[in-house]
Structure 1
Amino acid sequence: MTDLPFGFNPSDDPEGRRDRDNPSERPEGSSGANPFGFSGGMPPGGMPPGMPPGGMPPGFDMNQLGQMFSQLGQMFSQASQGGGGPVNYDLAKQLAFQHLDSQGRRESPTSAQRTAASDAVRLAELWLDESTTLPVGARLVEVWSAKQWVEQSLPTWQRLCDPVVQRISAAWIETLPEEAKQAAGPLLNMLGQMGGMAYGSQLGGALGQLGAEVLSATEIGLPLGKEGVAALLPANIERFTGGLERPAHEVLVFLAAREAAHHRLFTHVSWLRQGLFGAVEEFSQGIRVDVSAMEDLATKIDPSNPASLEEAMRSGLLEPERTPAQQQALVRLETLLALVEGWIDVVVGDAVGERLPGADALRETLRRRRASGGPAEQTFATLVGLDLRPRQLRAAATLWRGLSDRHGKEARDALWDHPDLLPTAEDLAEPVEFVERFGAQRGELDDPLAALEAARRRKEGRPDSAGATGGSAGAGESGGTTSSDGSEGDRPQRGQGTDRDDD
């Protein structure tokens, strides 16, 4: 076999010396300026108008053609070396880095930035101690470049994307007739690899855009980094601060407070991570493919135009139909994201409100930033069908504020002890009503089993029972005991909830 790529120039004169040294030995109509071993014979009917004798159009750059084939070879190589998962994350990382390089985002954090970030988080932790009962959750403070954010967050994106993309790939194959599956044979595996490349390409572009904008490890509401590691992106924060009329140190402390508050929540509410990721996994399990949409897709893709496939993916033609069970999972995910962001908004506001003059303006700026969603978030929503924006952020903030003002931070934070105690989507629709009802039922918090039973009754549409004790089911899920006096120490310890993914 020849060592040349794709079998080009398979002659016994690989260096083309015969054509170059003795033009009379060239095939008729060929030119010595034609590399890669392509035949330069005259096409039927003669050369097209304006075509030079060598058979190449004017301005054709053979170097660019060689680069194109080289990149194509790399793509096929990456397809077989992408880790064997449903998405080619090596390709996603490479494309994200290329996007960041193209924007000049090659900054490396300096020692001064590391010191400033550590001091800001340390100060924020002192202030947060006064506004929440949850203890410090960040054990380490780091500063990341945009590329470091991509590397550190990629495992979490993999956990989010894998179940969705894997189920979509399986659903497409399930729609094929059995005869087609047998005829395709190994081709199905190749299609899976190419699909992994397509998803990796879109994910890489989204991560590249997010990496150029994101301000901290938890800004989008998910714990993207390692547990207990608070991370800020100083270069992105400086660009963000440039569009504001606030001192740089004030913005840094405000963002550090939000990062630290997120870690208090994700570290000490043990079921919260699984609650978020479990909703994504439940969403993926219900994926079904609309066969008629697949047939319609075939008529909209031009085989001669590779960009038409990418355009189809962006337009949503490849999105599977959504089932009622999936819609319920999405509602739970959006509600939980809103509750997290609303709690952060209230707790950080209480911690820094009287200490940072521009705190209210910064809170509103970040609210709008999260609510609007950038092109990267839209790309991710199209890719896996999930919108990671907290749509009910303001309602959640109103609810947590009402609980804080009327019942105190201890009662407010106690709702995180178990997912069944948290407000539902219906509660966010009427946050003031929930606060009033919470006041009437506040005594239940002294009896966690009764509180769980009452929460289940409300979710099931049954009337509350003042004498409910929760029974054995409640005992099995709370993991705690109740003393005769209902003392604070006998409530389940915060962070000891179950791994249930319903809220």
Structure 2
Amino acid sequence: MNLYRSARAVASASGERAIDWAAVANAAKSLTPPGSLDLDEIDEAGYRDDVDEARRSIERVGAVDVSLPDAIEVQNRHHWIDANVETFQRVMAPIERSIGPFPGVARTINTGTMSVLLGVLGRNVLGQYDPLLLADSPDHALYFVHPNIVRVASELSVDRDRFRRWIAFHEVTHAAEFATAPWLTTHLEREVERSVETLSAGSFDAQSFETLDVTMTVVEGYAELLMDHAFDDEYVDLRRKLDDRRRSGSPIQRLVRRLLGLGLKRRQYERGKRFFEAVATERDLAFANRVWDDPSALPTSAELDSPHQWVDRVSGEH
């Protein structure tokens, strides 16, 4: 970590946009050690085999076709930061266009804020399925941040290969969702654009944010349901140890997690998992797959908390 270099990068922020994204990338990487990407043949084969086996298992138990992304990358932290700077830049573009030329001091503050955010995430993300929202290319991507996987497995005192395999299965479940529901990327893009545009106009579109929250809750909850059926090992201990680690952080670390919305992501996991467990218990996994028929099949916020209402609606029963 080089705080001086990071501060220089932020202070050098220039241009007329609200955020200098090149400076964000430089500053975030100065804040974040890249970590070792020294993979031996066993590591390389491990990632490849984990992804392939996850795909086969998920296709078998979920009765879905899984199209893996063309880009499957084992990254260090700097690689992950570069990839996600591009994503943040695309998502923030409507706000920057609406604001127009921006004063230098405010640009520096915005650039510094984004640098810290990406630096913190870069040190903690284990794996990521990236639908590349708002990108010109239709391709998706799958990333594994190897230094973080190695570090966290050691901190949790769990077998590294088993931990890596668990991460791979979880991310491939997300690939299954987007392959099963070709409309999902467009649906998310539309709601993201609508939310960002209303923010840029100085208002708040509660309906769009609720739609995004519900959709991401479904995405996370269905992934957990598939994991329960597809992962060929118990993983309750892995989830418990990871949750304990997050809760045991310092007050500052917990505050940062709240500011980054990571608590919201955990709530989405739990709420979505409860919904799909109830659906699978009342019907079965095949019935739960109906959630991906089209956008109208997504549960409402009320139905997420009353799964039987969703079951009645999509089955035509009253």
Q: Scaled by the length of structure 2, what TM-score is found?
A: 0.82
Q: Which residue of 2 aligns with 1:393?
A: 269
How do 1:292-311 residues align onto structure 2 when only pairs under 5 Å count?
A: none
Q: Which residue of 2 aligns with 1:205?
A: 116
1:98 aligns with 2:36: no
Larger Rg: 1
State how far apart, in whole Å, the 1-side matches of 2:217 and 2:286 are: 20
Q: Is the Cα contact below 8 Å between 2:23 and 2:111 reproduced in 1?
A: yes
Q: Any idea what SS the aligned residue of 1:79 has?
A: coil
Aligned AA (1:198): I
Q: 1:347 to 1:138 in 2, by over 3 A?
A: same
2:91 aligned to which of 155, 160, 163: 160
Unaligned runs of 5+ in 2: none
Range that drifts further, 392-401 or 89-98 = 392-401
How do 1:301-450 residues align onto structure 2 when only pairs under 5 Å count?
A: 323=204, 326-352=205-231, 355-357=232-234, 359-365=235-241, 378-380=258-260, 389=265, 391-435=267-311, 437-438=312-313, 442=315
Query: What is the deviation of 1:240?
Result: 1.2
Q: 1:154 to 1:375 in 2, by over 3 A?
A: farther
Aligned AA (2:305): A
Query: What is the deviation of 1:341?
Result: 0.4
Q: Any idea what SS the aligned residue of 2:143 has?
A: strand
Which structure's residues are more often helix, by fraction?
2
Q: 4+ runs of 1 displaced by more than 4 Å?
A: 364-381
1:128 aligns with 2:58: yes
Query: What is the deviation of 1:376?
Result: 5.3
1:243 aligned to which of 135, 155, 160: 155
Q: 1:416 to 1:204 in 2, by over 3 A?
A: same
State how far apart, in whole Å, the 2-side matches of 1:335 and 1:258 are: 19
Q: Which residue of 2 aligns with 1:300?
A: none
Q: Is the Cα contact below 8 Å between 1:109 and 1:144 reproduced in 2?
A: no
Query: What is the deviation of 1:393?
Result: 3.0
1:138 aligns with 2:15: no
State how far apart, in whole Å, the 2-side matches of 1:250 and 1:275 are: 34
Range that drifts further, 338-347 or 272-281 = 272-281
Aligned AA (1:223): P
1:115 aligns with 2:45: yes
Query: Number of aligned pairs?
Result: 304
Q: Which residue of 2 aligns with 1:262?
A: 174
Query: What is the deviation of 1:128?
Result: 1.2
| Structure with larger RCO (C-alpha < 8 A, sep 6+) | 2
Q: Is the Cα contact below 8 Å between 2:131 and 2:140 reproduced in 1?
A: no
Q: Any idea what SS the aligned residue of 1:135 has?
A: coil
Query: What is the deviation of 1:391?
Result: 3.1
Q: Which residue of 2 aligns with 1:22?
A: none
Query: What is the deviation of 1:337?
Result: 1.0
Q: 1:374 to 1:161 in 2, by over 3 A?
A: farther
State how far apart, in whole Å, the 2-side matches of 1:164 and 1:369 are: 36
Aligned AA (2:27): L
Q: 1:366 to 1:399 in 2, by over 3 A?
A: farther
1:196 aligns with 2:107: yes
Query: What is the deviation of 1:160?
Result: 2.3
Aligned AA (1:270): P
Aligned AA (2:227): V
Q: Any idea what SS the aligned residue of 2:60 has?
A: coil
Q: 1:239 to 1:106 in 2, by over 3 A?
A: closer
Q: 1:229 to 1:288 in 2, by over 3 A?
A: closer
Query: What is the deviation of 1:198?
Result: 2.4
Q: Any idea what SS the aligned residue of 1:230 has?
A: strand
Query: What is the deviation of 1:275?
Result: 2.3
Q: Deviations over 1:385-407 (max 9, x none)?
A: x9862534323212212222332
Q: 1:369 to 1:400 in 2, by over 3 A?
A: farther
Query: What is the deviation of 1:287?
Result: 3.0
The alignment yields a C-alpha RMSD, in angstroms, of 3.4
Q: Is the Cα contact below 8 Å between 2:132 and 2:140 reproduced in 1?
A: no
Q: Which residue of 2 aligns with 1:460?
A: none
Aligned AA (2:271): A
Q: Is the Cα contact below 8 Å between 2:279 and 2:308 reproduced in 1?
A: no
Aligned AA (1:200): T
Q: 1:443 to 1:365 in 2, by over 3 A?
A: farther
Query: What is the deviation of 1:410?
Result: 2.4
Aligned AA (2:315): R
Q: What is the percentage of aligned positions where both structures have the same residue?
A: 19
State how far apart, in whole Å, the 2-side matches of 1:190 and 1:392 are: 35
Query: What is the deviation of 1:91?
Result: 0.8
Unaligned runs of 5+ in 1: 1-66, 171-188, 290-319, 445-463, 465-503
Query: What is the deviation of 1:347?
Result: 0.4
State how far apart, in whole Å, the 2-side matches of 1:414 and 1:224 are: 24
Query: What is the deviation of 1:278?
Result: 2.4
State how far apart, in whole Å, the 2-side matches of 1:251 and 1:406 are: 31
Q: Is the Cα contact below 8 Å between 2:180 and 2:292 reproduced in 1?
A: no
